[in-house]
Amino acid sequence: MLSIRNATVKFEAADGTEIHALDRVSFDIPPDSIVVALGASGCGKSTLLNAIAGFQSLTEGQILIDGLPVDKPGGDRGVVFQKDTLLPWSNVLDNVALGLRYRGVPKLERYRQARELLQLVGLSDFETKPPYELSGGMRQRVGIARALATDPKILLMDEPFGALDSLTRENMQQLLATVWAKTRKQVFFITHSIEEALALGTHILVMSPRPGRIVARYEADFVRTFAATGDLGPILSHPRFVSLREEIRSIIHTPASHNERHAA
């Protein structure tokens, strides 16, 4: 299990003022969960993900994996970025196999594993293509397969579908729900879309900016239905979905909501 304890990040901005990006954020990412951090831009959610990934060091607090503190990137935390970071000089298969290459896995074995993952994300026919010949959605599929290749404990996703058109985005959400149900990875997912957070999250952390902190926590299970049926339509109109959506909307749009709320 991954635990975030009192995570605080302070920067010094170019003009010398101090930016309080994260303020004493604590939560757990339990097994078999998708924890979604939801908030407007500037609420520190990307800083939080970067800290968990090990790209950003904490001013105070700790990040623990199974009780052991981590402070640098590693293969136990796979990252899917908002803008895809595939290597343009490698084809799809080599991109997916990259992490295994770093580990010294022999070529045939890493290609075998990479092909399995490409099948999981529905890109088996594209393994010899260079990434720049793929659409945005397909590139993010490759990114997900690549992050899964090192068999991480947890998948960190930084607004991975934010740059996609709404139809592709819905397909990708469905893919993630399916992959999650199949692989049983823990997922930490960042978004500014309330609907995406509710459709995908088992745990939803609503964050507020300056300083970035958690102002409300929700639990939901729409993602299990989503993964099983593959149909988002009925979920979006479900009464409980609608009421949660409106509740979260009112929290996000209320300025300076400092009271941390808990809901079942």
Partner 1 sequence: MSAVIEPAVAISEVKRQRTQQPRRIKKTHGTAVISFATLIGLLALWIIATKYHFASALFLPSPSDVAVQAVAVASEGYANGTLLDHILASLGRIGVALAFGIGLGIPVGLLMGLNRWAKGILGVPIDIYWGLPPLAYLPLMIIWLGIGEASKIVLLSLAAFAPICFAAQAGVRSVPQERINAARSLGATSYQVFTSIIFPSALPEIFTGVRIAIGATLSTLVAAELIAAQSGVGYMIMSAANFLATDVVFVGLIVIAIFAFAFATGMRFLENRIAPWKGKL
List residues near partner 1 by CB under 8 A: 53-55, 72-75, 77-79, 81, 83, 85-89, 98-99, 101-103, 122-123, 125-126, 129-135, 137-138, 146-147, 149-150, 156, 167-168, 170-172, 174-175, 178, 230-232
Q: How far is the CB of 22 from partner 1 (least distance, A)?
A: 18
What the block records as the tokens of 177 is 């729900």
We find the least distance from the C-beta atom of residue 171 to partner 1, in angstroms, to be 4
Distance of CA 229 to the CA centre of its chain: 22
In whole angstroms, give the CA distance from residue 253 to residue 259.
14
Query: Which residue, 44 or 78, has its beta carbon nearer to partner 1?
Result: 78
Q: Which long-range contacts (CB under 8 A, 24 or more apart) does 253-261 make?
A: 256/208, 257/208, 257/215, 257/216, 258/215, 259/215, 260/213, 260/214, 260/215, 260/216, 260/217, 261/215, 261/216, 261/217
CB of 62 to partner 1, least distance (A): 19
- Radius of gyration, CA atoms only, the chain: 18
- Of residues 186, 173, 145, 143, the one with CA closest to residue 4: 186
Q: Is 115 exposed, middle or buried (0-12, 13-18, 19+ CB in 10 A)?
A: middle
Q: Are strands 213-219 and 203-208 parallel, antiparallel or unpaired?
A: antiparallel
DSSP symbol at 211? T
Closer residue to partner 1 (CB): 11 or 55: 55
Q: Which residues 6+ apart lie within 8 Å of 64 measured at CB?
A: 2, 3, 4, 5, 70
User: Of the two residues 143 and 251, which places its CB atom closer to partner 1 in the complex?
Assistant: 143
Residue 59, helix vs strand vs coil = coil
Name the residue nearer to partner 1 (CB basis): 49 or 251: 49
Instruction: Give the whole-angstrom CA distance, residue 147 versus residue 123.
Output: 15
Choose between 116 and 170: whose C-beta lies nearer to partner 1. 170
* Smallest distance, partner 1 to C-beta of residue 53, A: 6
- In the complex, the smallest distance separating the C-beta of residue 208 from partner 1, rounded to whole angstroms, is 26
User: Nearest approach, Cβ of 56 to partner 1 (angstroms)?
Assistant: 10
Q: Which is nearer to partner 1, 26 or 135 (CB)?
A: 135
Instruction: Please state whether beta strands 154-158 and 68-69 pair in parallel, antiparallel, or not at all (unpaired).
Output: unpaired
- Least distance in angstroms from the C-beta of 68 to partner 1: 17
CB-nearer residue toward partner 1: 148 or 204: 148
